Amino acid sequence: MKMSKFYFLGLLSLGLVFTGCSDDDDSDDSQSTCPTPTDVIVDDSESTSVTLSWSSTGDNWTIEYGEQGFSQGSGTTVEATSNPYTVMGLEADTDYDFYVRTNCSDGTSSGYSSAITSSTPNPIVGSWEAYDVSPLLAGLGITGITAEFRADQTYTVVSESDGAETQLDGTYTVDGEANADGIYYIILDQSSPATLTSEGIFAVYVASPDSMWYEVAQTDPAITGVTPPTVEDGFGSTSGGAFGETNIQKYSRQ
C-alpha cells in the first residue's frame, strides 16, 4: 500500500471570550500630569491569565480587576510593573472586568474597562516540536515537524524533508473530554495544501517542558484498510493495531 506523506501527516492541526467592552474614562484632559490609558488591548488567548497592553506615557500604572460588574475600588489591584502586563491565576469560566488606571499625585485616576470571560484551554493549544518523528513518517523522509495549535481552533504544521519544508493548515476539533488516561479524540480538517480530514488521538503529559503523544490517520478521502486510532484502544491502535507504535508522534512544548 503506497501512501503519500500527507496520509498520516493530516497531522496536526482557544480565546478569552469578549463578553463586552466599554470605555471608562473619567480623566480631565487639562490634567497633563495624569495621562489616560489609551488603546488598551486585552489579549484574547484562552487562558486563566490575561495580558493587557496600552498606549500611554507615564508611570504609576495599576491594574484593577474583579468579577464582572464590580465597582472600582472593590476589586484586586496589582502594580503594572511593565507594559504589557499579565495578570495570572484567574478562575476558569469566570467573568472579569479589567481597569488599567493611573495613580496621580493629586489623587485622581482614570481608566478603561473590558469585560472578558476566562476559561481553561485544551492542553493541545500551543507550540510543539517533534522530539521523536514517528517511524512511519521517518520512512517517508520526514526529519522534523513543528506544530502550532491555536485557541481559535486553527492549526499550522510544518514538516521538513531533505531541507525542504511543507506547511499544512486547517482547523481542528477536540471531541469530548479526555478519558481516564488523559487521551483525547481529535478531528482535523486540513485546507492546505490539500483538502482532507484526519482523525485520531493525543495526550499531553505535564513536565518541564510538557510532552505530547499524537497519533492520527487520514479518514477522508478514505484509505483502504486504514482506520484511525481510538480513545478506547489507545496509542498504537491505528488500523486495529496493524501499525503498532510506528504511527505515534512525540512532541515537546515550546
Tell me the pLDDT tens digit for each residue of 82-95: 888 888 888 877 78
Task: Say which residues have a Cβ less than 8 Å from residue 174's Cβ, sequence separation at least 6.
Answer: 122, 124, 184, 185, 186
Please give the radius of gyration of the chain, using alpha carbons only, rounded to the nearest integer: 23
Residue 40: its pLDDT value, please? 66
Q: Determine the pLDDT at residue 4.
A: 45
Q: What integer pLDDT is reported at residue 28 of this predicted model?
A: 41
Residue type present at position 28: D
- For the whole prediction, is pTM greater than 0.95? no
Position 67 scores a pLDDT of 84
Question: Which long-range contacts link 101-105 to residues 24+ away (Cβ below 8 Å)?
Answer: 101/37, 101/61, 101/62, 101/63, 101/64, 102/34, 102/35, 102/36, 102/37, 102/56, 102/58, 102/60, 102/61, 102/62, 103/60, 103/61, 103/62, 104/31, 104/33, 104/34, 104/60, 105/33
Question: Residue 17's pLDDT is what?
Answer: 27
Domain boundaries, the chain: 17-117, 126-253
For residue 213, the cross-strand partners are: 203, 250
In the prediction, which pLDDT does 32 show?
Answer: 46
Residues in CB range of 50: below 8 A, 6 or more apart: 16, 42, 43, 86, 87, 90, 96, 98, 116, 118
Which class in CATH covers the domain with range 17-117? mainly beta
The predicted structure's pLDDT at residue 19: 28
- AA identity, residue 180: A
Run of H or E including 51: strand 50-55
CA–CA separation, 231 and 73 (whole Å):
49
Cell match 489591584: residue? 77
Question: Which pLDDT does position 165 carry in this prediction?
Answer: 97
pLDDT < 70 positions in the chain: 1-47, 56-60, 72, 103-120
Backbone angles phi, psi at 135, to 5 degrees: -55, -35
